[in-house]
Amino acid sequence: MTYQKIVVAGGGTLGSQIAYMSAYSGKDVTIWGRSAGSLDRAKARVARWEVEVQNYFKSSDELKNDTQKNLHYTTDLESALKDADLVIEVLPESVPTKEAFYEEFAKIADQKTIIVTNSSTLLPSVLADFTGRPEKFLGYHFANSIWRGNTAEIMPGKKTDPSLPATFVDFSREIKMVPIMVKKEQPGYILNSMLVPFLNSGSYLWVNEIAEPHDIDKTWMIATGSPMGPFAIMDLVGMNTVYEINHANPSETSQKVAEKIKAMIDAGKIGVESGEGFYNYPNPAYQANDFLKE
């Protein structure tokens, strides 16, 4: 066993999923939130993951009840941190927000307590010194719907103790994640370092009117055997995120993509979530039997 007493700082979508899966795997987990309101929202999310996880693993009611017992909520950081082995920070992607939290943590936490960030956009080295213990800090990145997209990318910063990443290989397995070792700092970790250029290459063909989204997806699906092409993935990710990624990229193509995605958002086509994006849901064309045959 590696870390047993876990604090998850932040009960948003991923924070609540990480907390739930850790509690489900027998860890003693406390979700810390800034306010009673944020904890209420975290509880509502946990109730959703409870259903999804039970369906996914076909797990027993007993395990569901045990998980509930393992899961605690508090706005009191001092009591949350008492005797904590590990803090997983899943706060909004803002340096000042994380800095404020880490500085509070640094004052209170026991010297043994390890702290990691789930940030997907900020490298560990940007944040490490705020924690007061940069050698006990690294990046630890989850995909969405973590029971299914169960990779946990482990990324040391420049000051991380070289023996620390290996403990997260074990911890990841304990909470049913597949550990993926990122050997040094890389913006976007592994997944986004590949996914973003992939979505860009599909988008290029679309906005430059070389081919239609459905044909682009079909070509990729037939050639690689993948269940989705770039446009189906964009529908899943959601147009707001696709817009942000492109808007932040100064290339001419990305700016054109941002403009076209903005028009889709304005028309209410934000992807799976709104029932329409590049496909119509719940039965998108790319999942039809004949999509790959005609």
Name the minimum Å distance from CB 247 to a second copy. Answer: 20
Stretch that binds a second copy, among 58-66, 108-116, 124-132, 188-196 (CB under 8 A): 188-196
Please report the DSSP string for 53-121 in residue order.
HHHHHT--HHHHHHHHHHEEEES-HHHHHTT-SEEEE---S-HHHHHHHHHHHHHHS-TT-EEEE--SS
List 76, 78, 83, 212, residue binding a second copy (CB under 8 A): 212
What mask, x for binding a second copy by CB under 8 A, covers residues 217 to 256? Answer: -xxx-xxxxxxx-x--x-----------------------
Q: How far apart are the C-alpha atoms of 71 and 87, rounded to whole Å? A: 14
Q: Which is nearer to a second copy, 102 or 168 (CB)?
A: 168
92 is a site residue for a second copy (CB under 8 A): no
Kindly tell me the sign of the dihedral angle through the C-alpha atoms of 99, 18, 109, 81.
Answer: positive
285 is a site residue for a second copy (CB under 8 A): no
Contacts of 182 (CB under 8 A, 6+ apart): 139, 153, 154, 155, 156, 189, 190
State phi, psi for 247 to the nearest 5 degrees. Answer: -60, -35
Name the minimum Å distance from CB 136 to a second copy. Answer: 22
Stretch that binds a second copy, among 74-82, 94-102, 194-202, 256-264 (CB under 8 A): 194-202
Q: Which residues bind a second copy (CB under 8 A)?
A: 143, 149-151, 153, 173, 178, 180-184, 186, 190-191, 193-195, 197-198, 200-202, 204-205, 208-212, 215-216, 218-220, 222-228, 230, 233, 292-294
